[in-house]
Each structure stands twice: as structure tokens, then as C-alpha cells.
């Protein structure tokens, strides 16, 4: 009898054989070994393997066809990484890769040389990321002085989600700090950002911290290349104030959520610090509860709680209040009320004011 695998709960025999054939070649084994430590572009893999681009590209195609690798295009660059465990790809994918990785001898001279060149590639990335961060760090320091410590808000974000998180999406990921904060709670984390410089910085941070279950991608917040209803938690962290149409991004984020999934929206409450607009390119000077709640309901989200984190005004002439809106995806995404209707007493919104707490030094 021909075994398809499904009768025994395992992979399809054809998928298994294709994966084994794809892995059973010296260069392709080396590729699997180095990608177990880093997501890399074709050019970076060429540098690590010391081989030509056409040759490396042929090997990559075979590995992708066997579902051992996944490819993601970002502008003119293509990134490759090991097939993740949570994407539902057919066949054995990551299961086989993990089994093979345990058998690869890291002290083998060829593998050692590859890892040495991989370290050089990572160092180049880190240097570019450090230079970019140095160019923007002073701006961030000015803004941070105006609001409560980030650690206070991050703790509240974690506390807002119960239990284990399957898939988390961070839209406007920046340095991937949100992925780092939730790393111990998630099976898979995806960060989206439009800036290549920020993505380079984010990849460097994730690699340095060994967060292989987290990845970042270039993308437009208004046109997300994410399967609808495939995410458990979606985060919009200090993104909306940069946008021309924040309501559209709230709707885009809502579409990624499974029924019952949670959206965390963190941004500034209404303020009059005009320097945020003139010096730091903020399109909006904060958001009110009515506005955010209206956008959420129109997107099929119920706002369930609102938390505020005011800055101690005794230490600053100007201050910004950070607000977190927690919303849940309805099974029926039809808006509960028409846009523009004022909030009423029976609307499902609970406001909690949280005083700032000094972060540990």
C-alpha cells in the first residue's frame, strides 16, 4: 500500500523525500546551518559561503521548493530564513531542519569558516545599525524626557494579554522593541516597518538577543501583506501620530486579527506640544478616546479598556500623557455604531488612570 503519511499522522511521503533530497548536498547543508543563526540576503549568503550568486541562488531555490526555507522580497533584496513552525506550510519543513541541525558538527573546518564569515556579516550589519541609531538617538531622548518611562507602559502591555500568544504582529516595529518585550510570551512575532534603516537595526537587535522566532519585514501599514484573521495580538505602538490616515491603519490592523484577538494601541493623548509636529514630523498631536473608539468600532473592534500614563509634571514644564487602548476583535465585524456617534454610558469602555511608576535603573 502506498503510504501518504496522513494515515499515520506524519508528513506526506513525497514531501519528506523532496526535503531529504534537498538537504542532502554539502552546500545546502551549510546554508541550513548558517540560516539557523540568521536571516540572510543572497549577497550575504554568497559572502558567508564564498560562492557565486548564481550558484547560491540555485541552491536556495531547491531548498525553498522543498519548504525548508522561506523567501521574502524587500525592495531589490531577497531575505531567506528557515521555514517557521507556525506558518502551516505543508510537509516537514522546520521539523526536518531542526533534526538535521543537531547532527551538524559545528567544529567541522568548513562550518567553522562559514560561522566566522557569518560573524563578519553580522558585524557589518551591527555597525550600520549603530550608525543609524546614533543619528536619531538625540531626537528620541528629547521625546522620552516628555513622557513616562517606557518600562511602565511595556509592563501594562504585557499585563493586558492573558496567557500564551500564538502569533503577534507589531505594525511600525521600529527597533523591534515590542517583539523583544513579548518574546517570552509568543510562539511567533512579526514586525512590519517601512524604513529599511529601522529594519536593519531591528534585525541586528533580534539576532543579538537570539530571538529566532521573531522576524521583521518591510511593508506598508495601510496595505499589510498578512493573511486576514491569522494573528492573535496586533500592536500599534506610537505609530498613528505619524500617519495621514490613522483610521485606515486601525482598520488594516483589525483585519489581521482572529475573532477574539486583541489590538493594543499605544499613543499620546491630546496635547499642545507643537514641537512634536515641527521638529519630529508628528502629523497629529495625540488622540482622544472618542476618536480612537470610533475608529475601532468601525473596524470591528470593541474597546474594552483605556489606560493612561501621565508624566510627573513637577519635573517638566511640558509633558505628554501616554494612553493605551485595548480592543477585541468581534466575531461579527459589523460596526456597533455609526461613525461620529458620541460615546454613551452603556458603551463597553472602562477607563483606568494609572499613575507613573519610576522604572528601575
Residue 299 burial by Cβ neighbours in a 10 Å radius (0-12, 13-18, 19+): buried
Which pLDDT does position 213 carry in this prediction? 92
Q: What is the pLDDT of residue 344?
A: 45
Residues 49 and 52: their CA atoms lie apart, in Å, by 9
Task: Give the residue with greater pLDDT, 85 vs 87.
Answer: 85
The CA distance from 28 to 34, in Å, is 10
* CATH superfamily, region 145-353: Vaccinia Virus protein VP39 (3.40.50.150)
Q: Which three cell numbers stand for residue 198?
A: 529601522
CA-CA distance, 342 to 68, in Å (whole number)?
52
Domain(s) of CATH 1.10.10.10: residues in the chain: 6-116
* Mean pLDDT computed over 58-64: 94
CA triplet 207, 209, 214: central angle to 5 degrees? 60
- Assign 247 a pLDDT band (cuts: 50, 70, 90): very high
> What's the number of CA atoms in the CB half-sphere (13 Å) around residue 68?
29
**Cα separations in angstroms, 24 against 2, 108, 224, 333:** 24, 17, 36, 48
Region 39-53 average pLDDT:
93
Query: 84 pLDDT exceeds 80?
Result: no
Q: How many CB atoms lie within 10 A of CB 213?
A: 15
pTM above 0.75, yes or no: no
Distance CA 169, CA 148 (A): 24
- DSSP 8-state secondary structure symbol assigned to residue 286: -
For 61-124, give the DSSP string.
HHHHHTTSEEEEEETTEEEEEEPPSSS--SSSTHHHHHHHHTTS-TTSHHHHHHHHHHHHHHHH
Give the model's pLDDT for residue 284.
Answer: 87
The percent of residues in the chain predicted with pLDDT above 90, rounded, is: 49
CATH 3.40.50.150 spans which residues of the chain? 145-353
Helix (H, G, I), strand (E, B) or coil at 342: coil
Within 8 A by CB and 6+ apart from 173, the residues are 179, 191, 192, 193, 198, 202, 216
Average pLDDT, the chain: 83
DSSP class of residue 238 equals S
Predicted pLDDT at 357: 35
Q: What CA–CA distance (Å, rounded) separates 304 from 301?
A: 9
C-alpha cell at 119: 560573524
- Quick one: pLDDT at residue 334? 61
Assigned CATH class of 6-116: mainly alpha
**Which range (72-76, 104-108, 191-195) has the least confidence?**
72-76
Q: Residue 357: which residues within 8 A CB-CB, separation 6 or more? A: 149, 152
| 318 vs 43 pLDDT, higher one | 43
Rounded distance between C-alpha atoms, residue 218 and residue 220, angstroms: 7
Enumerate the β-bridge partners of residue 46: none
Amino acid at each position: 500500500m502506498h503510504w501518504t503519511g496522513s494515515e499515520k499522522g506524519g508528513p506526506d511521503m513525497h514531501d519528506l523525500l523532496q526535503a531529504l533530497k534537498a538537504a542532502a548536498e554539502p552546500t545546502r547543508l551549510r546554508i541550513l546551518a548558517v540560516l539557523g543563526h540568521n536571516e540572510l540576503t543572497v549577497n550575504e549568503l554568497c559572502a558567508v559561503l564564498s560562492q557565486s550568486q548564481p550558484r547560491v541562488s540555485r541552491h536556495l531555490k531547491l531548498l525553498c521548493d522543498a519548504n525548508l526555507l522561506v523567501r521574502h522580497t524587500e525592495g531589490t533584496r531577497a531575505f531567506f530564513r528557515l521555514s517557521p513552525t507556525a506558518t502551516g506550510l505543508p510537509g516537514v519543513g522546520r521539523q526536518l531542519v531542526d533534526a538535521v541541525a543537531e547532527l551538524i558538527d559545528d567544529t567541522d573546518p568548513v562550518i567553522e569558516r562559514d560561522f566566522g564569515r557569518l560573524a563578519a556579516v553580522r558585524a557589518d550589519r551591527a555597525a550600520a545599525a549603530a550608525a543609524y541609531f546614533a543619528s536619531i538617538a538625540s531626537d528620541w531622548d528629547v521625546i522620552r524626557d516628555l513622557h513616562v518611562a517606557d518600562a511602565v507602559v511595556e509592563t501594562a502591555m504585557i499585563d493586558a494579554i492573558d496567557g500564551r500568544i500564538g502569533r503577534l504582529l507589531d505594525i511600525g516595529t521600529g527597533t523591534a522593541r515590542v517583539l523583544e518585550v513579548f518574546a517570552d510570551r509568543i510562539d511567533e512575532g512579526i514586525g512590519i516597518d517601512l524604513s529599511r534603516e529601522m529594519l536593519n537595526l531591528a534585525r541586528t537587535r533580534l539576532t543579538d538577543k537570539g530571538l529566532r522566532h521573531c522576524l521583521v519585514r518591510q511593508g506598508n501599514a495601510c496595505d499589510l501583506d498578512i493573511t486576514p484573521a491569522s494573528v492573535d495580538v496586533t500592536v500599534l505602538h506610537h505609530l498613528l501620530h505619524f500617519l495621514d490616515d490613522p483610521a485606515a491603519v486601525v482598520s488594516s490592523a483589525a483585519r489581521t486579527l482572529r475573532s477574539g484577538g486583541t489590538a493594543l494601541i499605544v499613543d499620546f493623548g491630546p496635547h499642545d506640544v507643537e514641537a512634536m509636529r515641527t521638529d519630529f514630523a508628528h502629523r497629529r498631536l495625540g488622540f482622544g478616546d472618542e476618536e480612537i473608539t470610533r475608529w475601532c468600532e468601525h473596524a470591528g473592534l470593541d474597546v474594552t479598556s483605556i489606560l493612561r500614563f501621565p508624566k510627573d509634571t513637577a519635573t517638566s514644564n511640558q509633558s505628554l500623557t501616554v494612553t493605551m487602548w485595548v480592543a477585541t476583535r468581534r466575531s461579527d465585524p459589523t460596526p456597533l455604531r455609526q461613525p461620529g456617534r458620541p460615546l454613551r454610558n452603556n458603551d463597553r469602555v472602562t477607563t483606568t488612570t494609572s499613575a507613573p511608576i519610576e522604572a528601575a535603573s
